[in-house]
A and B are shown apart, each in its own frame.
Chain A
C-alpha cells in the first residue's frame, strides 16, 4: 500500500476547498459556490477520506503501520504522518461524522458554499492532528481546525454570537498559547518535538513538566472540568449543523491527543494516573449535575458532552489495555450517539423555532420518528442494554473493577442514573407533556402559518442561533434521516459490538506498548 495515501486526508479537503472557492460566484451576496457544486465537492471529498481511512485501518490491523515523511527530510525534521490503529480508527469515525453533518447541514439549509469550505478546512485540521507524529505539527493542525471553527460559530450564531464568539476565541487562543509554550519548553529540554524521539522522555523531570504544560493546554481543549466552561456557553449559540460538527470533532481531538501524548511521552507512567482518574470523575459528576438544571434541549446536551468526556478520561486513568480499549470504544460510540441527539435537537429547533423546554410539548404524537430516534439515542447515551453505550460502560466498569477502582465504578453507575433523569426530563418536556398554550408559543411550524409568522421565524431568538428561512428547510423524512441512521448505528454497535471492540483493543495495545508506533515514526 502506498504511503501517499496518508497525504490524502490532509490534502484532498484543502483541494476541495480551493475548488469550492474557485467556483464561487462573485458579487451577488457572495454566498459562495452554488450550493449544489459545493455540496457535491464536500460530500465527495469526505467519502474519499472515509474510504482512505478504512484502507489505512485495515492495513494497520494487519500490522503494517503506514508512515509518510513529507518533503523527504530525515526524521526529526520532516513532518511525519503515521496511521496506527488508533489514528486510523479516529479518522474513520471523524470523517463519517463530517459526512453526516454535511448531509444534516443540507437538510437544515445551513450549507451555503462557505459552510462547506469552512467545514472542509476544519476536517483537514482534525485528520492532520490524528495522523501527525510530532508535537509542533499537532499545534499547527489544531489551529487549522480552530480557525474555521471561530468563523463557523460567529456566522451561525444568534444575537449573542459575538459575546459567545469572543469568549470561545479567547479561551482557545489562551489554550493555544499555552500549548505553544509547552512545545517550546519541551524543545528546549529535549531538542526535539518528534513523538518518536520523545518516547519515554518524561523520565527527565524537566521534560515531564514541559509535557504537563502541553497536557494542560489539551485539557482546556478537551473541556475537562474545571476548564470546561467555554464549551456550554459557546455551543449554545451555534447553528444546529455547526454544533453537530463541533461536538464530534473539537473536544475529541483534545481527548485523542491526551491519550497519545500521555502514552508516548510519559510511557503510561502510573504515578500520575490518579490525576486523570480524579479529573475524570469530577468531569462526569459536574457535567451531569449542571445538565440537570438546564432548561433547553441544547444546553442539557452540551453539559452531557462535558460529562461524557469524563468517561473517556477514566479509561485513560486506568491505563490498562482493557481500560483504554473501553475509553476508545466509548469515544467512538459516543461521537455517533451524541451527533444523533444533537441532530434530533436541531430538527426540533428548525421545525419549531425554539428548543426551550417550556415552549415545547406534545411532539411525540405528531412526530413518532423523531421521538423514536431521540429515544434510542438518549437510551444509548445513558447506557441501557442492548445499545452501544451499555457495552462501553460495561467494559469501563469491568476494567475499573480489575484495577480495584471502586469509586470509579460507583461514579459510572450514579452518573448514568443522573443522565437518565435529565434525559427523562427532556423526553417529558418535548414529547409527552401537553403542548403549551398558543400565546406562549412564539413560532408555529414554519411555512404553515400566515406571513407574519414567517417573518418572526427569521428573527433569531435571544440566545439561539440564526435559523435558516422556512423555505430552506427540507421535508420531514430528510430532516430526520441522518439522526435515524445514527440511532440505527447505536443499536447495531450494541448488538454486534465484537468487531469494534477487537479494533479498540488493538488500538489500546498500541498505547500500552508504544514500541511499534515509535518504530514507525522514527524509522527512516
Chain B
C-alpha cells in the first residue's frame, strides 16, 4: 500500500510539472515520473509479501525472499532515466547560452517569415 501511495504522489507531481511551461519544469516532471515508475517496477516484485534476504531470519524459504529481477530492472532504468535527464539539462543550458533568440516559444512559426536575413 505504501508503494502505491508513493507511486501515486510521484506520478501526480510529475504530471503536474509536465503541464507547466518551461523546459526546466518539464525536466523536473520527468525526474519525478521516472522515480514513480521505478518504485512501481520495484513494487511489481511483491514488496508486501516478501522479506529482505540475508539479514535477520532471511535465510529461510527462497519464495519468501525479495525478487531480485525487478531490482535489476530498476538499476538499469535508473541509469537510463538519469542519463537522458542530464542530456535534457544540457539542452536547456545550450539554449540559454548559445541562441537566446531561438527558443521553444518561437518555433511555432513555420515557413512564413521572410528570409531577408540570408
Chain A residues within 8 Å of B, Cβ to Cβ:
77, 136, 139-140, 143, 147, 150-151, 154, 159-160, 162-167, 169-170, 173-174, 176-177, 180-181, 183-185, 187-188, 233, 295-296, 356, 442, 456, 459, 461-463
Contact = CB atoms under 8 A, between A and B. Distances in A.
Contacts of B45: 187-188
Interface of B: 18, 23, 26, 30, 33-34, 37, 40-41, 43-46, 69-70, 73, 76-77, 80-81, 83-85, 87-88, 91-92, 94-95, 98-99, 102-104, 107, 110-111, 113, 115, 117-118
Nearest to A158: B102
A459 B41 contact: no
A162 B30 contact: no
A463 B95 CA distance: 16
B43 A188 contact: yes
B91 A165 contact: yes
Contacts of B80: 140, 143, 147, 176
Contacts of B33: 174, 177
Given A162-B91, A163-B95, A184-B70, 19 more contacts: A143-B80, A162-B98, A163-B102, A169-B84, A170-B88, A173-B81, A177-B30, A177-B33, A177-B81, A183-B73, A184-B37, A184-B41, A184-B73, A185-B40, A187-B41, A187-B69, A187-B70, A188-B44, A463-B111
A77 B69 CA distance: 8
Given A140-B76, A295-B111, A463-B111, A166 B41 contact: no
A136 B41 CA distance: 11
B37 A181 contact: yes
A180 B103 CA distance: 30
Most chain-A CB neighbours within 10 Å: which of B26, B91, B103? Answer: B91
A170 B37 contact: no
B105 to A, nearest CB: 9
A331 B103 CA distance: 36
Contacts of B103: 163
B87 A150 contact: yes
A147 B81 CA distance: 11
A137 B11 CA distance: 24
Given A166-B91, A180-B77, A296-B111, A173 B84 contact: yes
Nearest to B94: A162
A185 B111 contact: no
B104 A167 contact: yes
A154 B111 CA distance: 20
